[in-house]
Structure 1
Amino acid sequence: MRTMKVFLLSVLSVVFCAQTGKGQDNSKLTQDAEQTMLKATRFMVEKVSTNGGYVWYYTPDFSRRWGEMEATKTMIWLQDPGTTLVGHMLLDAYRATGNEYYYQAAAKAANAIIYGQHPEGGWNYLIDFAGDKSLKQWYNTVGKNGWRLEEFQHYYGNCTFDDNVTSETARFLLRMYLAKLDPAYKPALDKAIDFILKSQYPIGAWPQRYPLMYDFNKQGHPDYTSYYTYNDDVIWENIHFLIQCYLTLGEQRFLDPIKRAMNFYIISQDGSGGWGQQMDLNLQTAGARTYEPKALLPRNTEAIIKQLMDFYRYTGDRKFLNPIPAALKWLEQTRLPQNETENGRYSHPKFVEVGTNKAIYPHRKGSNVVYGYYYVDYKDTNLLSHYGGKSFVNIQELQDEYNKLCVMPVEEATKDSPLLEQTYKEEGTPVTYYDLSHERPTRIPDDSFVKRVVQSLDKEGRWLIKHGMTSHPYIGDGVKKEPTEEYVKTFVGDETDTSPYRDPSDALYISTGDYVHNMRMLINYVEAHKNGLTEEQLRARLR
């Protein structure tokens, strides 16, 4: 018995030491992760940023830099993965560590954003600290010659909802205000809120750009920026922001625009059951860029079905479920033939012709923006590499979720509604940032991943990457007139095309997107290990 006790004590001692050693290792790795986060952030804030803002890529010597297109040294980009995304991440780092440096870095990003806020209250894709004169020259040279980037070929001088630019930037200012209830951010936030409210059409939708402009007609295509716009989730992202404002600022005035926007989903459904990317003011499906024809889109329809189910969860009103059966039926009717799915990789065409339900596909000919052009036909060959022509929709998953909601008691479906009246039962107050999108990564990386990220930071504090985005420098307008098919499937045309493309060489880049990704993984690790959180608990904390 004594021998057995000694043996058991020895075993327990070994187990305890192993667990203690693991705890010490985790503690040491958590410290290493925090030090790496701070070193990387100091480099980005103090060496890379322009007045607190960022673009997407930089060469290590800073001789060139890019947002969605090549940028000047006085520019910052708001589109992800630019200034706004960095700002959100910095606030995440501040929450996880309590280190004031991250809050101050986020404040610098917010100040840059406020500097570039349009007098109307929204934002353009980018901010140029050199002012309107410099920005117009950029649009007339670099922007004008990006063949596939038609949204940059014309200087509007107004604001955009495209790529979540205005809604996401306003959301970041909301977070900055709520972080410490600092009144310094309230005027810009109020201005952004007023912009989103006044730019909404009475019918409930939003245009792509505002104030409304009609002055860019390209190759006979009307200016589409005033249309009712679903593309890039314009309507949903504005609803999302207004609900966050309702939850945190508590003002009743947000309810009517939210409800009108949700109702627009119902009245905008095509008779066939699907939805397009945008509609004209007569509620007719419309095209946009010259490679975005008048069409219905299966992927857009999928997104709208999911959002309608969310609206039912928010309101308990079955009218938001009513359009779904017709939409599911339309998705079944527009499936690709099996021999066109590329072994199941795709299920649907990207574009479906209105009235016929036939698949239509965009293509291009030529070498540059001056003499090149896009066109549409029924052939699924030589599809655009930069935009694709097919998509995948999981109809069964949509059907299962719809069936589940149909039989679920309404009280259960709406129990987490951000809109229904209810008593607040949590600790503290609801004046805190609340994210409905669940887009924030919540994976807790393992030790080996964290060690790789820590070790890959160089002595200067950089995570350098290969195969970043590059572009042809601006050298003048295109001159080649031949309708060649040489650039049919490439991301970029001839040497005059300023559109970006992936650098195939081993040249190194500073990537803002990779910085944010690595930081978020380290943030998750630090936050989880400091607070003993599971991924589910971390996910709940991040809401």
Structure 2
Amino acid sequence: MKYFTFFRALPLIVFLFTTTVNAQPDKLAKEAEQAMLRATKYMVEEVSTNGGYVWYYLPDLSRRWGEMEAYKTMIWTQDAGTVGMGHIFLDAYRATGNEYYYQAAEKAAAALIWGQSDAGGWNYMIDFAGDRSLKKWYSTIGKNGWRLEEFQHYYGNDTFDDDVTSNAARFLLRIYLEKLDPKYKPALDKAINFIIKSQYPLGGWPQRYPLKYDFSKKGHPDYSSFYTFNDDVTWENVNFLIQCYLTLGEERFLDPINRGMNFYVISQHGSGGWGQQYNMAMEPTSARTYEPAALLPSTTFGNAMLLLRFYQYTGDLKYLAHVPDAIRWLEKSCLPEQMTENGRYTHPTFIDVASGKPVFVHRTGSNVNYGYYYVDSIDNKLLSHYGGKTIINIERLKEEYNRISALSTEEATKNSPIKAGNFKEEGLPQNFYQLNRGTSFFTELPADTKVKQVIDALDSHHRWLVKHAMVSNPYIGDGENRTLTDEFASVNAGDKTDTSPFRDPSDQLYISTQEYARNMTLLINYLKSAKEKKPLGKKDMVASGK
């Protein structure tokens, strides 16, 4: 009789136990959802410009910055601006089902579509005041950013730099797939066609398109038409087209994907390394005046790792064949011991193509008008905005090569996104794939204390404010100081006429889209994990002996 009573009471015991265990997480999850919505409403309704964003704002919105200072009529395309915010809104919509987030994403998409060029791509920024205002910005603020040479000239075309066009296109793909709303298909198709059309026959992409050649600087030819690896231009375009193939399923994507991957093979230098851009003769060449014609250990490491991935996509041994050459080149290109700064670095940023020796970039002067960059073999007074030394994990590359090359072709390609095969995952491809490369979903539930800390960090206006934002001197006119000083050799900005960004050392607070995205991501991950975490049920209790 006692046993009977105990087991009849067991469901109630289980219910009370699980209710007690899960009451606090449920309460915290509700608080997290409320905090997310309050913070988002502030960003959407108080901060955004026609649905778009820059990176930092003064709390009174009197000044704002993307990678450089922006007019009040401007938004930034590149992360962590409009595209990054749009991705976060869709992440929040997926996690909560709240239509407000989807509507916020739609506003971001509308802003991007407004700023999409006739050709189909995007520039770094969008100005709702139009071309007249944008030209004024380039001739004043942009022109005087000493270290940001990509902003010193008005091209009037689109860029692949910093994942600008490919990530904007990815966001349009994602919002189209979310509800298959046909209103996004024309802009998406336009962007896809732009990326395909701009690819060179050999498989690489230029930095900007349609091609322009009208900005030579200090004896350097206009680099924007060169084959470009820098900032993952080629890889991000290949990756986006693979995402299109997975979710849209059109065979037309396979040729540009394969040519893009093959470009990594044909561009490898005979020594085993890669440059970050190549001229039309397929020679490593210079770009910005602080980017000499050179081979780069960081580019070589990244490209070699991608070759391993391409082998897993295709099973074609050509992608494995010359990875050992890259490894040998990296091993012999290490810094001399006396240049490693007690083991802090392993390699120089740049290695001379002909001699195989390190080269280092420096600058002298006070501003863009009367300052310049130069190259030598001396490793002091290096640039702060473009590191002269780096760290390369050669052992990691070796381990990956050994692991993947030991697999059979069938084993290596079993998860290939371009290999013929039926879809075996849950649901449909349109909703299965995570297209936001910026989102990192935790495998474990974020700590309650951290979640509470993020919630409590919202101020009375529902803002996450930060110190030490990247800001700049206001535009006051072109530089006039002709002194060739080393005072600004290793800092981010020159004299007061330099509009390049630098980190504000004061305690001034700023609205930050990056901080918003970081905190939203943590709360989204918490909600996602909390919903997937199953309460301890009857069978679990009995089996565990509790």
* TM-score, with length taken from structure 2: 0.94
Distance 2:60 2:480 in 1: 32
Structure 1 residues 435 and 240 mapped into 2: Cα distance closer, same or farther (>3 Å)? farther
Is 2:273 the counterpart of 1:274?
yes
Distance 1:470 1:259 in 2: 41
User: Could you say which residue in structure 2 is the equivalent of 1:447?
Assistant: 448
Q: How many residues end up aligned between the 2 structures?
A: 532
Is 2:489 the counterpart of 1:488?
yes
Contact residue 445 and residue 521 of structure 1 kept, 8 A: yes
Distance 1:459 1:21 in 2: 32
Q: Deviations over 1:30-66 (max 9, x none)?
A: 0000000000000000000000000000000011000
Contact residue 87 and residue 436 of structure 2 kept, 8 A: no
**How do residues 357-372 of structure 1 correspond to structure 2 at under 5 angstroms?**
357-372=356-371
User: Could you say which residue in structure 2 is the equivalent of 1:540?
Assistant: none
User: Could you say which residue in structure 1 is the equivalent of 2:77?
Assistant: 78
Matched position secondary structure for 2:518: helix
Distance 2:534 2:473 in 1: 47
TM-fit CA distance, 1:233: 0.4
TM-fit CA distance, 1:415: 1.1
Contact residue 229 and residue 235 of structure 1 kept, 8 A: yes
Is 2:285 the counterpart of 1:292?
no
Distance 1:80 1:467 in 2: 18
Distance 2:135 2:514 in 1: 27
Matched position secondary structure for 2:126: strand
Distance 1:437 1:16 in 2: 38
TM-fit CA distance, 1:14: 10
User: Could you say which residue in structure 2 is the equivalent of 1:283?
Assistant: 282
User: Could you say which residue in structure 2 is the equivalent of 1:7?
Assistant: none
Structure 1 residues 437 and 59 mapped into 2: Cα distance closer, same or farther (>3 Å)? closer
User: Could you say which residue in structure 1 is the equivalent of 2:248?
Assistant: 249
Distance 2:462 2:534 in 1: 28
Contact residue 139 and residue 155 of structure 1 kept, 8 A: yes
Q: Deviations over 1:294-340 (max 9, x none)?
A: 00000011110111111011111111011100000000000112222
Amino acid at match of 1:300: T
**Which residues of structure 1 form unaligned runs of 5+?**
3-11, 535-543
User: Could you say which residue in structure 1 is the equivalent of 2:120?
Assistant: 121
User: Could you say which residue in structure 2 is the equivalent of 1:99?
Assistant: 98
Matched position secondary structure for 2:327: helix
Matched position secondary structure for 2:93: helix
**How do residues 174-185 of structure 1 correspond to structure 2 at under 5 angstroms?**
174-185=173-184
Matched position secondary structure for 1:207: coil
Amino acid at match of 1:262: M
Distance 1:424 1:361 in 2: 50
Contact residue 473 and residue 498 of structure 2 kept, 8 A: yes
**How do residues 375-454 of structure 1 correspond to structure 2 at under 5 angstroms?**
375-432=374-431, 434-435=433-434, 439-443=438-442, 444-454=445-455
Distance 1:71 1:223 in 2: 25
Distance 2:94 2:426 in 1: 18
Matched position secondary structure for 1:163: helix
Contact residue 468 and residue 509 of structure 1 kept, 8 A: yes
Distance 2:436 2:429 in 1: 18
TM-fit CA distance, 1:22: 3.4
Q: Deviations over 1:132-182 (max 9, x none)?
A: 000000000000000000000000000000000000000000001000000
What is the percentage of aligned positions where both structures have the same residue? 62
Contact residue 244 and residue 433 of structure 1 kept, 8 A: no
Matched position secondary structure for 2:34: helix
Structure 1 residues 29 and 268 mapped into 2: Cα distance closer, same or farther (>3 Å)? same
Distance 1:267 1:104 in 2: 45
Distance 1:110 1:167 in 2: 14
TM-fit CA distance, 1:426: 3.0
TM-fit CA distance, 1:429: 2.6
**How do residues 125-204 of structure 1 correspond to structure 2 at under 5 angstroms?**
125-204=124-203
Matched position secondary structure for 1:71: coil
User: Could you say which residue in structure 2 is the equivalent of 1:25?
Assistant: 24
Distance 1:249 1:473 in 2: 46
TM-fit CA distance, 1:437: 8.2
Structure 1 residues 153 and 277 mapped into 2: Cα distance closer, same or farther (>3 Å)? same
TM-fit CA distance, 1:367: 0.3
TM-fit CA distance, 1:16: 8.4
TM-fit CA distance, 1:432: 2.9
Matched position secondary structure for 2:321: coil
Contact residue 38 and residue 462 of structure 2 kept, 8 A: yes
User: Could you say which residue in structure 2 is the equivalent of 1:527?
Assistant: 528
Structure 1 residues 435 and 352 mapped into 2: Cα distance closer, same or farther (>3 Å)? farther
Is 2:38 the counterpart of 1:39?
yes
Amino acid at match of 1:249: L
User: Could you say which residue in structure 2 is the equivalent of 1:505?
Assistant: 506
Q: Deviations over 1:250-299 (max 9, x none)?
A: 11110001101111111100011000100000001001000000000000
TM-fit CA distance, 1:413: 1.1
Distance 1:87 1:446 in 2: 26
User: Could you say which residue in structure 2 is the equivalent of 1:537?
Assistant: none
User: Could you say which residue in structure 2 is the equivalent of 1:350?
Assistant: 349
Distance 1:135 1:107 in 2: 25
Contact residue 170 and residue 435 of structure 2 kept, 8 A: no
Q: Deviations over 1:332-373 (max 9, x none)?
A: 000112222222221100000002110001100000000000
Amino acid at match of 1:216: F
Distance 2:427 2:79 in 1: 33
TM-fit CA distance, 1:469: 1.5
Distance 1:47 1:208 in 2: 34
Contact residue 206 and residue 224 of structure 2 kept, 8 A: yes
Distance 1:225 1:414 in 2: 35
Contact residue 242 and residue 418 of structure 2 kept, 8 A: yes
TM-fit CA distance, 1:458: 1.1
Contact residue 346 and residue 390 of structure 1 kept, 8 A: yes
Matched position secondary structure for 1:76: strand
Distance 1:101 1:248 in 2: 25
Distance 1:376 1:15 in 2: 72
Please identify runs of 4+ aligned residues in structure 1 that moved more than 6 A.
Answer: 12-18
Amino acid at match of 1:485: D
Structure 1 residues 220 and 433 mapped into 2: Cα distance closer, same or farther (>3 Å)? farther
Contact residue 142 and residue 499 of structure 2 kept, 8 A: yes
Distance 2:200 2:187 in 1: 22
Contact residue 244 and residue 435 of structure 1 kept, 8 A: no
Amino acid at match of 1:531: E
Q: What value does the CA root-mean-square deviation take over the aligned residues?
A: 2.3
Contact residue 205 and residue 261 of structure 1 kept, 8 A: yes
Amino acid at match of 2:403: K
Q: Deviations over 1:159-210 (max 9, x none)?
A: 0000000000000000010000000000000000010011000010000000
Matched position secondary structure for 1:321: helix
User: Could you say which residue in structure 1 is the equivalent of 2:517?
Assistant: 516
Is 2:188 the counterpart of 1:206?
no
Matched position secondary structure for 2:430: coil
TM-fit CA distance, 1:19: 5.6
User: Could you say which residue in structure 2 is the equivalent of 1:337?
Assistant: 336
Contact residue 145 and residue 496 of structure 1 kept, 8 A: yes
Structure 1 residues 357 and 435 mapped into 2: Cα distance closer, same or farther (>3 Å)? farther
Structure 1 residues 223 and 325 mapped into 2: Cα distance closer, same or farther (>3 Å)? same
TM-fit CA distance, 1:399: 0.3
Contact residue 175 and residue 433 of structure 1 kept, 8 A: no
Matched position secondary structure for 1:381: coil
Contact residue 88 and residue 521 of structure 2 kept, 8 A: yes
Matched position secondary structure for 1:34: helix
Distance 1:181 1:334 in 2: 50
